[in-house]
Copies of this chain bind each other. A is one copy, B any other.
Amino acid sequence: MDKVTVRSPATLSNLGSGFDVFGLALREPYDVVEAKRIPERGVIIEGIEGWGADSITSDPAKNSAGAAAQAVLERAGSEHGVAIRIKKGIRPCSGIGSSGSSAAGGACAANMVLDKPLRSEELVLCAAKAEQVTSGSFHADNVGPAVLGGFTVIRAYEPFEIHRMDPPANLGVVVTMPDLMVNTREARKVLPSKVDLKDMIFEVGNASSLVLGMCRGDVELVGRSMADRVIEPARAKLNPHLKEAEAAAMDAGAAGAFLGGSGPCVIAVYDRKRIEGEGIAEAVRKVYEEHGLKSDNWVTTWGEGCRRV
């Protein structure tokens, strides 16, 4: 194949209790990445459009999709290169894996024009390298689900081990993006370096129960198990009105609510068999509106990983 276009989903990381461990691919929004095989080695960025296009570098070594594509070419020992076009459907710095989506898209699209494609797990690692370039830390909790789809659990980084499963079909997700900007690097700095043992036990108990809820198809258990005493409290100060937005989601029938990545997106999950997500979206939107902030939202569910359009 000489040219492919892939759709790469937004993703949720953390899910409350699973910081740097859990990830979930969303059905929408998504980035679209096109890769074209070119005779010269290396990566060229031919075009960037959509959300935040002006602020995204076209230097292939620093661009998420470009750096991921480059990592794929190197790992595969490719003799040729790729030219890439990116259409951002996900706002950068939103907390729903915008850079991870572009990285996964770049890795998967470049992989599809290779003569001998890499395995999915290798693509996750290549995309994680790009995350390191753009965010300053090697992490795979967004690129994991963006490549593999569904719900992902990273057991360990050395050696790297990731597991993927289908979440329950009735898992609904409401994403609300207020008109606020949070810098991911800053959001990492506010995290504590040490955690109380009792808080670790709390996180382990909830994360374990969240996996059990996913396995059992128990959306209420999944939602309840998003409780987090370590990460979100530290980041709350960077995200005004967060607690109020979460409380509004819960009052509107959500099973759980949490901060998407480092914010500012607020995420609510709900049981699609029981309620409609629009009521939750409306309740959260209203909170921001009362504070004079606009917001966008998506009423969606979990989705597959990178796919050809």
Which residues of A come within 8 Å of B, CB atoms? 17-22, 153-156, 161, 163, 165, 191-197, 199-212, 215, 221, 224-225, 227, 230
Contact = CB atoms under 8 A, between A and B. Distances in A.
B163 A204 contact: no
Given A194-B194, A196-B193, A155 B211 contact: no
- Closest A-B pairs by Cβ, 9 of them: A215-B215, A155-B209, A211-B211, A194-B194, A21-B205, A20-B201, A200-B200, A204-B207, A208-B211
Given A194-B196, A197-B191, A212-B163, A204 B156 contact: no
Contacts of A18: 204, 208
Contacts of A153: 205, 208-209, 212
B200 A211 contact: no
Copies in the complex: 2
A136 B103 CA distance: 51
A68 B273 CA distance: 41
A196 B194 CA distance: 4
A195 to B, nearest CB: 5
Contacts of A192: 197
B195 A200 contact: yes
A210 B211 CA distance: 9
A235 to B, nearest CB: 13
